[in-house]
């Protein structure tokens, strides 16, 4: 049985994951409208993955006797002034998600809820990968600079980058 504090913390994380899905979805839509098929494909896949992260938390909370709350979602505000700005925003968001997961882990340890702590280790590992992916993409964007040919190749590479990350939820 989940304590009220664990249930509240999980419900807060459900909201974070739902918002993450919306942010990736907004980025996907923007990239698609701009004609960047590869980036759009990557972002759509990431949006789906974040939704799966949310669903995993919903099912866990309910199975442990809690009551998962399905949150309102945010309307993402994106900085689309450049690809670097967009992907920097994405990286900063993933860092925030990692901090949120760490807070949830901290609550589970404080409550001596070792089942929840064990469950959350998957999220800890996943966030390490999410941050690394965002950093790798930012590094590539920094290498490209303002080169239009490089941006074309980057967009094309993003099609292959999609869904091929270790630990991604299918």
How far apart are the C-alpha atoms of 28 and 44, rounded to whole Å? Answer: 5
Angle made by CA atoms 19, 25, 26, in degrees to the nearest 5 = 90
117 annotated to bind ligand:
no
User: Do 26 and 50 form a contact (C-beta atoms < 8 A)?
Assistant: no
Q: Which residue has the tokens 């004609």?
A: 35
93 annotated to bind ligand:
no
How far apart are the C-alpha atoms of 95 and 118, rounded to whole Å? Answer: 21
CB count in 10 Å sphere of residue 77: 8
50 annotated to bind ligand:
yes
User: Do 119 and 61 form a contact (C-beta atoms < 8 A)?
Assistant: no
How far apart are the C-alpha atoms of 82 and 86, rounded to whole Å? Answer: 6
**Which residues are known binding-site members for Fe cation?**
17, 50, 53, 94, 127
């Amino acid at each position: 049985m989940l304590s009220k504090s664990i249930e509240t913390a999980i419900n807060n994380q459900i909201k974070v994951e739902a918002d993450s899905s919306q942010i990736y979805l907004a980025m996907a839509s923007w990239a698609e409208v701009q004609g960047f098929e590869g980036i759009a494909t990557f972002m759509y896949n990431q949006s789906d993955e974040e939704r799966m992260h949310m669903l995993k938390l919903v099912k866990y909370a309910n199975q442990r006797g809690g009551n998962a709350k399905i949150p309102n979602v945010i309307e993402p505000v994106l900085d689309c002034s450049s690809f670097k700005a967009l992907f920097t925003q994405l990286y900063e968001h993933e860092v925030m998600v990692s901090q949120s997961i760490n807070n949830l882990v901290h609550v589970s340890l404080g409550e001596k809820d070792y089942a929840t702590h064990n469950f959350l280790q998957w999220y800890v590992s996943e966030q390490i990968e999410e941050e690394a992916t965002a950093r790798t993409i930012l590094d590539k964007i920094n290498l490209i600079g303002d080169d239009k040919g490089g941006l074309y190749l980057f967009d094309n590479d993003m099609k292959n980058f999609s869904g091929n990350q270790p630990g991604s939820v299918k």
